[in-house]
Structure 1
Amino acid sequence: MAAVTWSRARCWCPSVLQVFRLPVAKLHLSRPTMRASQQDFENALNQVKLLKKDPGNEVKLRLYALYKQATEGPCNMPKPGVFDFVNKAKWDAWNALGSLPKETARQNYVDLVSSLSSSSEAPSQGKSGADEKAQGSKDILITSEDGITKITFNRPTKKNAITFQMYQDIILALKNASTDNNIMTVFTGTGDYYCSGNDLTNFTSATGGIEEAASNGAVLLRDFVNSFIDFPKPLVAVVNGPAVGISVTLLGLFDAVYASDRATFHTPFSQLGQSPEACSSYTFPKMMGPAKAAEMLLFGKKLTAREAWAQGLVTEVFPESTFETEVWTRLKTYAKLPPNSMKISKELIRKNEKEKLHAVNAEECTTLQARWLSEECINAIMSFVSRKPKL
């Protein structure tokens, strides 16, 4: 769709908030008993003129539709020709409101502008509100630049091992990223490792005992993996170093995986008395064939980056010396592609498998909960923690 210029849209277009990706009807339901006055509406029009940042075409079209509905009622214009992209987009947005009453459209418009004005006044230090909420832990960093939401494992002294709190932080980060204004989301790691998998002290330090930790862990793991299964935008892993455990198995749910030639991929589940997770019991055999998948998931074979590429787990391998430059240059180029087209294409690719992936995830988590309570697993974890073997 051709761009709708900000200068022509200042009378009706504020900045972006997650709420604007919701249907108009849902926005109205949040304040069903209130009615904005004409003065409120005019004040909202003036507030929009004070905003400096271009909110993007989607928001401008949504507010254009509410403005027209509030002032003229249901769409009364003939549909523009198919090649009149801008006017057709405006017509479609207005027409989609159907018979929404003028008063409701006016109230929705005022609510949107009010929310945006409050958001723009909040201190953000260069980041969106979604980013700030996602940064509940120093161990997970979320940054936004060049159309990319970057989620970084930031626990280098522990080889970026994932704690329960980090699981929760990532779930929130993905939830926010799914509706932010960026085009794609990228995971990477700080330091020498990409991620060394689960921090096994999640279980040994649990205050409620191993049974409670296993039960809570299974629920958290299921929600965590589901957030990857359901993520609607392009999801990319930039694997800067060794990856272990769940940081490897999750890669089957990513849209692209770029690895440094110093990266390795290791899933030592049998060594720890555990079983596969993150849908890898399904995605790995599908990607690399049953024999190669068994070599990783049953026998714990560690793959080099080149081996992972040959088996379909990695999209492309780059020399360590040029890895960061080459990968991020490419991703910034991809982030300029039409976002809705990529989301629609991803949905087509994934939709026939989502139900299967959710079912596999649920079964894996149930199995893992039982494994975590087994004597075999408990002994393996205690041995691992006491000896702190090299990964």
Structure 2
Amino acid sequence: MAVAAHSQYNCLIYNVNEGVATVTLNRHRKKNALNKEMWTELILALRSASRDDRVVVCVLTGSGDYFSSGNDLNNFIEASKRGSDAANYMTFENVPLVKLLVDILIDFPKQLIAAVNGPAIGIAVTSLGLMDVVYASDTATFLTPFTSLGQCAEACSSYTFPKIMGPSKAYEVLFFGRKLSAQDAKDCNLISEVFPEDSFQREVQTRALKFAALPRKTLQAAKKLCRDGERDHLRGALKRESDVLAVLTSSDECRDAIKNFFVRKSKM
């Protein structure tokens, strides 16, 4: 799926400093929810970092209190205004963008660090299994409410989570929407380290700059060695998940679940 080049980012902050590219999700008033524009810009930013010779390490983080609240369900409202419905939006617009982003994460040639500065929901959680290192603030939480929204695991998490956490914990998270604290996530190996909120970004940047000073060709060779053995498994999981999502999001269960979500939200 082709993505047109943008002269600037509206939903992200992208900068490079001493070998570290920092990509900051920047819709903090919307809890960094991923709308179509942000999906597209994130794809562009990661492509840029992967091709930029100045970049050794890439850090993905969020602005404000949230890392990301995941897919912006208001996308469905916008789709309906265009004469589409939630199922058509998910099948023909959202799923291809998610697949393209996950493809980029699978093939990303440089070290990729997630700095989870606050709550993470949905694909903001499942994509962590494709990162090289994940750090979290002690304010971070991790929630995958797929079943309650009539959807299923994504971003290869049907493969990565059981491998990382073990099947029982992974299935509790992916099937039943168990919410993890930062310490819970560390205990089940989803993240590497937890830092206090007030020093979090400083701690992450200090480590990223230290990593970026290492020999870049050696780093990339090490990444390739580790990822090459997993690539076929990850692509298989991505294909299966995309196929199942396309079916589920066309179902009455999904439509009803999304409608109920907005009803509950309107009463809050």
Instruction: Give me the TM-score of the superposition, normalised by structure 1.
Output: 0.64
Q: Does 1:200 align with 2:77?
A: no
CA positional deviation for 1:389: 7.7
Q: For structure 2, which runs of at least 5 residues remain unmatched after alignment?
A: none
Of 144, 152, 161, the residue aligned with 1:267 is 144
Structure 1 contact 148–186 (Cα < 8 Å) conserved? yes
- The 5-angstrom pairing of residues 181-220 of structure 1 reads 181-206=54-79, 207-210=82-85, 211-213=87-89, 214-220=91-97
Instruction: Find the residue that maps to 2:230 and give its secondary structure.
Output: helix
- Residue 31 of structure 2 is matched in structure 1 by 159
User: Which has the higher relative contact order, 1 or 2, with Cα contacts under 8 A spaced 6 or more apart?
Assistant: 2
- Residue 237 of structure 1 is matched in structure 2 by 114
Letter in 2 for 1:281: S
Alpha carbons of 1:172 and 1:221: their partners in 2 closer, same or farther (altered >3 Å)?
same
Structure 2 contact 134–192 (Cα < 8 Å) conserved? yes
CA positional deviation for 1:289: 0.6
Letter in 2 for 1:192: D
Q: Does 1:258 align with 2:135?
A: yes
Q: For structure 1, which runs of at least 5 residues remain unmatched after alignment?
A: 1-132
CA distance in 2, matches of 1:208, 1:358: 33
Instruction: Find the residue that maps to 2:151 and give its secondary structure.
Output: coil
Map Cα deviations across residues 72-115 of structure 1 (whole Å, 9 max, x no partner).
Answer: xxxxxxxxxxxxxxxxxxxxxxxxxxxxxxxxxxxxxxxxxxxx
Instruction: Find the residue that maps to 1:298 and give its secondary structure.
Output: helix
- Residue 180 of structure 2 is matched in structure 1 by 303
**Percentage of matched positions with identical amino acids:** 46
Structure 1 stretches of 4+ moved >3 Å: 133-137
Alpha carbons of 1:312 and 1:201: their partners in 2 closer, same or farther (altered >3 Å)?
same
Instruction: Count matched residues.
Output: 259
Structure 1 contact 135–142 (Cα < 8 Å) conserved? no
Letter in 2 for 1:151: V
- The 5-angstrom pairing of residues 72-87 of structure 1 reads none
Of 49, 57, 61, the residue aligned with 1:177 is 49
Structure exhibiting the larger radius of gyration computed from Cα positions:
1
CA distance in 2, matches of 1:330, 1:389: 42
CA positional deviation for 1:157: 0.8
Instruction: Give me the TM-score of the superposition, normalised by structure 2.
Output: 0.92
CA distance in 2, matches of 1:316, 1:306: 9
CA distance in 1, matches of 2:242, 2:103: 11
Instruction: Find the residue that maps to 2:229 and give its secondary structure.
Output: helix
Alpha carbons of 1:153 and 1:390: their partners in 2 closer, same or farther (altered >3 Å)?
farther
CA positional deviation for 1:136: 4.1
Instruction: Find the residue that maps to 2:22 and give its secondary structure.
Output: strand
Q: Greater strand percent: which structure? A: 2
**Structure 1 stretch displaced more, 340-349 or 209-218:** 209-218
CA distance in 2, matches of 1:185, 1:178: 8
Could you say what the CA RMSD is over the residues aligned between the two structures, in angstroms? Answer: 1.6
CA distance in 1, matches of 2:17, 2:207: 14
CA distance in 2, matches of 1:325, 1:165: 29
- Residue 57 of structure 1 is matched in structure 2 by none
CA positional deviation for 1:140: 1.5
Instruction: Find the residue that maps to 1:178 and give its secondary structure.
Output: helix
CA positional deviation for 1:299: 0.6
CA distance in 1, matches of 2:267, 2:69: 11
Letter in 1 for 2:62: G
